[in-house]
Structure 1
Amino acid sequence: MESNLHSSPVPDETPVRDEGILHPLWAMPSVWVHGAGLSGSTWDRFIGPLNKAITPDLPGHGDALQVCPARVERFADMLKQGIPQGSVLVGHSLGGMVALELAARHPERVRALILIETVPTVRTSRLRVFGTSIAMKCLQWVPPRLFVWLSTLGQTEETARHLQHQLSRHTRSSVNAALEAALHYDGVPLLSGIKVPTLVVIGQKNRATHGGARLIAQTIPGAKLVSLPGGHMLHTDNPTQLRRVIDTFLKEVFTRK
């Protein structure tokens, strides 16, 4: 059996506090889809006591079995039965691609869409395609501990610890499959058909996602784009501001209705 990438202590799981904002997430179901190399538990501290929140594992992540070939469309197939009617759908990175696919296929189940550090495809940028391909090749040759260390470079202390903990649950093949799924996905044709209220959030430090995120915000009718201090892992880099932005957006959307 292939060895896990690394092991590390479990990070602090103190919930992010709400700071008094009343928002619809207390009253309606929400589905939080994690990014590549993570798992549903990445949201544990972020969502705190939201008892209607669902945090599934993508195929090949956490306790979910891999699918072959790994494709965003197949990931969406695996998750669709777990999306309650009238859900707020939240996706981070690769999970945002899956959330986008789900919202396009099953609009009757989704009341709002929130995409965090998500691009609709990496294939519009040769640099991103090259970077993803290089990461996949590195996984084949770089020792697991070195790969984890490289993944934490430039991260905040909290995010570095969180990445180490999350990556410890993965093998080379599971992370490689997640990168493969992102590399093959093209959600651009779906954007103009998304009709639900949509929030797009980017981290100011990770410019690699800015062009794709802007494309999402410009193409989905009425979508809102917000830029926050932090990098790709906004839910650990800047959890308080990210929760505040999400809560405020949903409060505004559902107050208008």
Structure 2
Amino acid sequence: MTDRTSSLRQAKSLWIHGAGLSGATWRGVTADLPRAVTPDLPGHGAAHPITPPRVEGFADQLCPRVEDDMVLIGHSLGGMVALEMAARHGRGLRALVLIEAVPTVTDRWTGRVAPRLARPLLKLLPRPVLTKMAGAGQSEDAAREARRWLAQMPRARLLDAFDAARTYDGRRHLARVKLPTLVIVGRQNRATHRGARLMADGIDRAEFETLPGGHLLHIDNPQGLRHAITAFLAGIPAA
């Protein structure tokens, strides 16, 4: 029998968004979760930027929001931040959920070269071109969400988020994470699958799940995402 007290609706949860978005991007998933916290990452939404923009610094800013027995959920860049926080908090958390996230983008030569080429484009391309590119390959709803948030974000803050992801390497933390962990990827975005699998394989007894949808799974498939997280939490024995 599953532990009903582990359900997502009853759990304390901290949801960390991806680059270029804000905490409000989770509204379609967390609106009816009374104990959900959806902060803005530094430089996003209403949060002030930090210098230098690094995943470790982002974690420093969000760690005070962590409570005992909390479920930590991160998407993309937010997944890197969640991994960093989970490695610090050890067993104080209830569980870790990583959505469309990888521990590093530097484990392959393409991950080392492509960001160096992409950064000048992010810096120089006209804003309308950037916003259009943000929706490339996404579903209509996900493209609309990405473009809406990107249009509101100052270019310098977007570069900060890009640099934070580019410079982070969380592989050293994987063996230290002893929490029940669920790694989720979108079936339509294969770019994350290798790194996400690396993360799942490196965390002891982590579960790996593929859902229909792309990189913005919380927009493409909010019900499927909710169901996957709820089922995962229900299977965790009570502390």
Q: TM-score range by the shorter chain?
A: over 0.9
What amino acid maps onto 1:102 in structure 2? M
Q: Which one of the candidate residues 63, 69, 75 is aligned to 1:92?
A: 75
- 1:15-37 deviation line (CA, Å, top 9, x unaligned): xxxxxx98522222100000000
> Is 1:215 the counterpart of 2:198 in the alignment?
yes
Q: Which one of the candidate residues 82, 86, 94 is aligned to 1:103?
A: 86
In structure 2, the residue corresponding to 1:98 is in which secondary structure? helix
Structure 1, unpaired ranges of 5+: 1-20
Distance between the aligned counterparts of 1:66 and 1:180, measured in 2?
13
Structure 1 equivalent of residue 19 of structure 2: 36
Identity in percent? 46
Q: How has the CA–CA distance of structure 1 residues 22 and 146 changed in structure 2, closer, same or farther, with 3 Å as cutoff?
A: farther
Structure 2 equivalent of residue 150 of structure 1: 133
Q: Which one of the candidate residues 207, 214, 220 is aligned to 1:224?
A: 207
In structure 2, the residue corresponding to 1:85 is in which secondary structure? coil
Distance between the aligned counterparts of 1:84 and 1:174, measured in 2?
28
TM-score where L is the length of structure 1: 0.88
Distance between the aligned counterparts of 1:204 and 1:134, measured in 2?
27
> Is 1:77 the counterpart of 2:32 in the alignment?
no
Q: Which one of the candidate residues 203, 211, 234 is aligned to 2:186?
A: 203
Deviation at residue 178 of structure 1 after TM alignment: 0.4
Distance between the aligned counterparts of 2:77 and 2:56, measured in 1?
11
**Mapped contact 2:139–2:214 kept (Cα < 8 A):** no
Structure 2 equivalent of residue 11 of structure 1: none
**Mapped contact 1:121–1:185 kept (Cα < 8 A):** yes
Count of aligned residue pairs for this structure pair = 236
Q: Which one of the candidate residues 148, 162, 165 is aligned to 1:179?
A: 162
**Mapped contact 1:24–1:254 kept (Cα < 8 A):** no
TM-score where L is the length of structure 2: 0.94
What amino acid maps onto 1:122 in structure 2? V
Distance between the aligned counterparts of 1:180 and 1:108, measured in 2?
30
**Mapped contact 1:83–1:109 kept (Cα < 8 A):** no
Structure 2, unpaired ranges of 5+: none
Q: How has the CA–CA distance of structure 1 residues 22 and 159 changed in structure 2, closer, same or farther, with 3 Å as cutoff?
A: farther
Structure 1 equivalent of residue 116 of structure 2: 133
Deviation at residue 229 of structure 1 after TM alignment: 1.5
* Greater Cα offset, 160-169 or 39-48: 160-169
* Greater Cα offset, 22-31 or 100-109: 22-31
What amino acid maps onto 1:165 in structure 2? R
Detail structure 1 runs of 4+ shifted over 4 Å in the superposition: none
Deviation at residue 108 of structure 1 after TM alignment: 4.0
For residues 26-65 of structure 1, the aligned pairs below 5 Å read 26-65=9-48
Distance between the aligned counterparts of 2:87 and 2:208, measured in 1?
19
**Mapped contact 1:205–1:230 kept (Cα < 8 A):** yes
- 1:102-154 deviation line (CA, Å, top 9, x unaligned): 00001243110000011001110221232323332111111011100011112
- 1:139-186 deviation line (CA, Å, top 9, x unaligned): 111101110001111211111111122112201111110010011101
- 1:222-253 deviation line (CA, Å, top 9, x unaligned): 10000112111111111111111111011111
Distance between the aligned counterparts of 2:237 and 2:45, measured in 1?
33
Distance between the aligned counterparts of 2:34 and 2:148, measured in 1?
24
Deviation at residue 45 of structure 1 after TM alignment: 1.2
In structure 2, the residue corresponding to 1:250 is in which secondary structure? helix
Structure 1 equivalent of residue 144 of structure 2: 161
Deviation at residue 48 of structure 1 after TM alignment: 2.2
Structure 2 equivalent of residue 4 of structure 1: none
In structure 1, the residue corresponding to 2:178 is in which secondary structure? coil
